[in-house]
Amino acid sequence: MKKILYLVYCVGTLLAWGCSSTKIEDRSNFQPFEIKEGEEITLLWEFKNADNVTIAGFPKLYNAKDFLVDKPLKSRQYYINAFKGSDTVKRFVHVEVIPNTPQQEIKTGPVVLRQIISGPSYEESEYLNGVLTHDIQHIPSSMHVMRTKINEKNKTCNFNVLLLDQLGNYINGYSYKSDKASWTSTNSCGSVSANYSGLKYSEKKNDETLDFIDLGLLIDNSAASDNEDIPLMIKSFLPGLMSGDKIMISAFNQNYHKILDLMPVEQMIMGFDNDFRLPKKSGLSAVNKASYKALGQLAKGHNSKKALILLTYLSDNSSLTYDENDVALFAKNNDIPIYIVGIGEAVNGYDLRYLCSLTGARYYFIMKDELKSLNNILTEIIFSLRNNYKVTVPIQSFDENCTVKKANLQFITNDKNISESVTIQNDYKSLFAANQILANYDEGSSRLKEEYLENIKLFAKTLSDNPNKSVQLTAYSWYDGAEDIQKTIAEERLNAIKELLLNSGAGTEQIKMKYEGENKPIFPNSKGWQANINRRVEVRWLDPSIQPYELLGEHVKSEDEAQKLVEKWESRGNKAYYERLFQQDEIGYRIRIWGFSTIDDARKAAIDIKDKYEVVMEVE
């Protein structure tokens, strides 16, 4: 039987730019089509004003109005190019070939699991959405470096990579056609760089080595969260796992909450509707503490591969005694990459990116209105643990002061060059001891909420165990009334927390108190949960070794700009980070340079920076 395909305008449109006086006019109708194995197709087209037409993979030169008869053995795409001088119109059509023998579901125990990706994608997607076997027509348009793993002995770093086309299809098979592709890398640290070409690579497929995974999902349930659709997304994601995989789910605000213990995926699917319950959203975000506790659970699993996926709407603001280095050390010792999905404008990605790069995992950022893509992201992560290109990159020996190495990995095929830059973070950086929040408050209230008691009591024990250390409690207000009323409420908040610390083991001489009023809101011009976070009591260690003084540096509009400036200052030998700012309903980023034990040290550094780099910085 023969099928005739009329080419649908706009369905397969890739490009329609030109500069000739008479534009090519597409009068064709292309649309995706299904045929049975063994059937023929006839492609018909008409491009008014075109001189000729070519079809990728077919050597013949066709007329502007012409046809092609073909019998595809498997599903494929036909790329049709019409030319007139420099004017070019490109179209494609997908033909799905249905095998004569019906495809069977994969049955594993009492639950029927489906393949995580069962076929090609027909819709544009930034993330993994399908799979294609490589041939000359399938050219990748983006690269996702999913995992980096350093081999100190061999001075190399292995990059696990997905190659995707514009429809989110993973293109496999290049390792079997090595003459069609090559990999290169440019490694750099500061102004020093090294280029490597002809890199060795291999391809891993799940059907060649069966790897089962212990997976942890850690979900932010702070006041900033918006998890209404998350349960349904997780439920639809679970059947894409394999029989043999195990999964656990937990949630956090300033406290850690177990939701479902590590169990076989079939067991979780069967009990999901009854057993999955997120607590009511509230409070702060202890990203580091929660990640550390989730890793402890995950490390007890017996599968050879493990991964933790963290979904968060805020950066860490209440872990108190855990930082990113603590979490990364635990993760690396147990070979557990931490993939993070930052959600919404309140996320400051600096610390989260650092944690991902230390554990060799990918960082994602999406806005709340892009949550529909979360399922694709979860699928992409799990798929990449079993299917990927592994590229081995030599690691240049840089100056000992170089702690952050960058690698720009490039894939080249058919004159197409795609690349992605990755931070190779193997050394632990000194981290700025940021203020942590002990509690936040409702408008006009000094009542200490019960949900914060556990954290404050644990912090009191830390003070009790370190009697030579002292801290400063600072109260901030936000539209709590007139100035005298705000100050009275702030003092009540401070005294209540101090009393709880003292009753829980801290010493009187260890605690200093300070009132800042409305001077430093985290979220200016805010209301709701953001305003409540502005009404807060913070804690900061009073210890010269913590190096509490900072320099306030440049303001930039994007997080990428901020990240580049941080790397520039670090390459100059400074300790730097960036913070997210909200000013007049706009998001911006400010660079901070830290590491000064005294205010005089900070002032001297500001003068040196002005003289050397012509950048004016303020001491804080």
pLDDT of residue 418: 94
**Strand ranges, E, within 253-376:** 256-264, 305-312, 338-343, 363-366
pLDDT exceeds cutoff 50 at 108: no
Q: Using CA atoms, how far apart are residues 443 and 456, in angstroms rounded to an integer?
A: 21
Give CA separation, 505 vs 463, 469, 498, in Å.
8, 13, 11
* Tens of pLDDT, residues 379-413: 999 999 999 999 999 986 655 566 668 899 999 98
Q: Using CA atoms, how far apart are residues 21 and 4, in angstroms rounded to an integer?
A: 33
pLDDT of residue 395: 83
pLDDT of residue 589: 84
pLDDT of residue 493: 94
Ranges 175-184, 428-437, 447-456, 524-533, most confident:
447-456
Q: pLDDT over 90 for what percent of the chain? A: 48
pLDDT of residue 7: 45
Amino acid at the residue 6? Y
**Helix%, strand%, coil% for the chain, nearest 5:** 25, 40, 35
pLDDT of residue 411: 94
Q: Which CATH number fits domain 436-546: 3.40.980.10, 3.30.1330.60, 3.40.50.300, 3.40.30.10?
A: 3.30.1330.60
Q: What is the pTM of this model?
A: 0.78
Annotate 336-375 with b (16+ C-beta within 10 A) or e (fewer): bbbbbbbbbebbbbbbbbbbbbbbbbbbbbbeeeebebbb
Quick one: average pLDDT of 222-246?
93
Q: List residues bridging with 88 in a β-sheet.
A: 17, 83
Q: Are strands 130-133 and 169-172 parallel, antiparallel or unpaired?
A: parallel
**Which pLDDT band, with edges at 50, 70 and 90, does 439 fall under?**
very high
**Which pLDDT band, with edges at 50, 70 and 90, does 103 fall under?**
very low
pLDDT of residue 208: 53
In the chain, what is the straight-line distance between the N-terminal and C-terminal CA atoms, in Å? 78
How many other C-beta atoms can be found within 10 angstroms of the C-beta atom of residue 453? 14
Q: Tell me which of 427 and 345 has the higher pLDDT.
A: 345
Q: Do residues 187 and 193 touch, judged by C-beta distance below 8 A?
A: yes
**Which pLDDT band, with edges at 50, 70 and 90, does 207 fall under?**
low
Q: Do residues 533 and 223 touch, judged by C-beta distance below 8 A?
A: yes
Quick one: average pLDDT of 294-299?
96
Amino acid at the residue 542? L
Given CA atoms 498, 500, 501, 507 in this order, what sign does their dihedral have?
Answer: positive
pLDDT exceeds cutoff 60 at 501: yes
pLDDT exceeds cutoff 80 at 18: no
How many other C-beta atoms can be found within 10 angstroms of the C-beta atom of residue 69? 10
Annotate 386-416 with b (16+ C-beta within 10 A) or e (fewer): bbbbbbbbebbebeeebbbbbbebbbebeee
Phi, psi of 79 (to 5 degrees): -105, 120
Ranges 288-297, 388-397, 473-482, 611-620, most confident:
288-297
Nearest to 146 by CA among 362, 405, 329, 356: 362
Q: Using CA atoms, how far apart are residues 386 and 210, in angstroms rounded to an integer?
A: 8
pLDDT exceeds cutoff 50 at 13: no
pLDDT exceeds cutoff 60 at 23: yes
**Which pLDDT band, with edges at 50, 70 and 90, does 201 fall under?**
very high
Instruction: Count, in order, helices (H) and strands (E) of the chain.
Output: 11, 36
Q: Using CA atoms, how far apart are residues 23 and 457, in angstroms rounded to an integer?
A: 74
Quick one: average pLDDT of 142-158?
92
pLDDT of residue 10: 35
Angle between helices 453-465 and 483-503 (to 10 degrees): 60
Same CATH topology for 2-98 and 130-205+388-424: the answer is yes
Quick one: average pLDDT of 162-168?
91
* Tens of pLDDT, residues 326-350: 999 999 999 999 999 999 988 888 8
Ranges 51-55, 109-113, 540-544, 586-590, most confident:
51-55
pLDDT of residue 250: 98
pLDDT exceeds cutoff 50 at 105: no
- The two three-digit tokens of residue 248, written as one number: 């656990």
Angle between helices 265-275 and 230-237 (to 10 degrees): 160
Question: What CATH number belongs to 130-205+388-424?
Answer: 2.60.40.10
Q: Tell me which of 4 and 522 has the higher pLDDT.
A: 522
Q: Using CA atoms, how far apart are residues 169 and 162, in angstroms rounded to an integer?
A: 10
pLDDT of residue 581: 74
Strand order across the beta sheet in which 182-189 lies: 192-196, 182-189, 405-413, 416-424
What are the residues whose beta carbons fall under 8 Å from the beta carbon of 21, sequence distance 6 or more?
A: none
pLDDT exceeds cutoff 80 at 535: yes
Q: Do residues 379 and 240 touch, judged by C-beta distance below 8 A?
A: yes
Three-state secondary structure call for residue 305 = strand
Q: Using CA atoms, how far apart are residues 528 and 447, in angstroms rounded to an integer?
A: 17
**Strand ranges, E, within 134-286:** 142-151, 156-164, 169-172, 182-189, 192-196, 201-204, 213-220, 246-252, 256-264
Q: Using CA atoms, how far apart are residues 289 and 311, in angstroms rounded to an integer?
A: 14
Phi, psi of 62 (to 5 degrees): -100, 165
pLDDT exceeds cutoff 50 at 11: no
Please identify which residue in the block is written with the tokens 């990579």.
161
Tell me the three-class secondary structure of 572-587, residue by residue. CCCEEEEEEEEECCEE
pLDDT of residue 334: 95
Class at the top of the CATH hierarchy for domain 2-98: mainly beta
Q: Give the DSSP H or E segment for 13.
A: strand 13-17
Angle between helices 324-333 and 349-358 (to 10 degrees): 20
Class at the top of the CATH hierarchy for domain 213-386: alpha beta
Domain 549-619 has CATH 3.30.70: yes
Q: Using CA atoms, how far apart are residues 228 and 475, in angstroms rounded to an integer?
A: 33
Three-state secondary structure call for residue 119 = coil
Q: Using CA atoms, how far apart are residues 582 and 590, in angstroms rounded to an integer?
A: 11
* Tens of pLDDT, residues 211-229: 899 999 999 999 999 999 9
Quick one: average pLDDT of 358-374?
94
Q: Do residues 86 and 18 touch, judged by C-beta distance below 8 A?
A: yes
pLDDT exceeds cutoff 90 at 3: no
* Tens of pLDDT, residues 577-615: 888 776 656 778 888 888 888 888 889 999 999 899 999
pLDDT exceeds cutoff 80 at 543: no
Give the helix ranges, DSSP H, for 81-125. none
Ranges 290-294, 489-493, 584-588, most confident:
290-294
pLDDT of residue 218: 98
Amino acid at the residue 71? K
pLDDT of residue 430: 64
Given CA atoms 364, 368, 370, 373 in this order, what sign does their dihedral have?
Answer: positive
Mean pLDDT over the full length of the chain: 85
**What are the domain boundaries of the chain?**
2-98, 130-205+388-424, 213-386, 436-546, 549-619
pLDDT exceeds cutoff 60 at 177: yes
Nearest to 515 by CA among 547, 541, 492: 492
Q: List residues bridging with 409 in a β-sheet.
A: 185, 420
Q: Do residues 309 and 219 touch, judged by C-beta distance below 8 A?
A: no
Quick one: average pLDDT of 499-506?
94
Q: Are strands 405-413 and 182-189 parallel, antiparallel or unpaired?
A: antiparallel
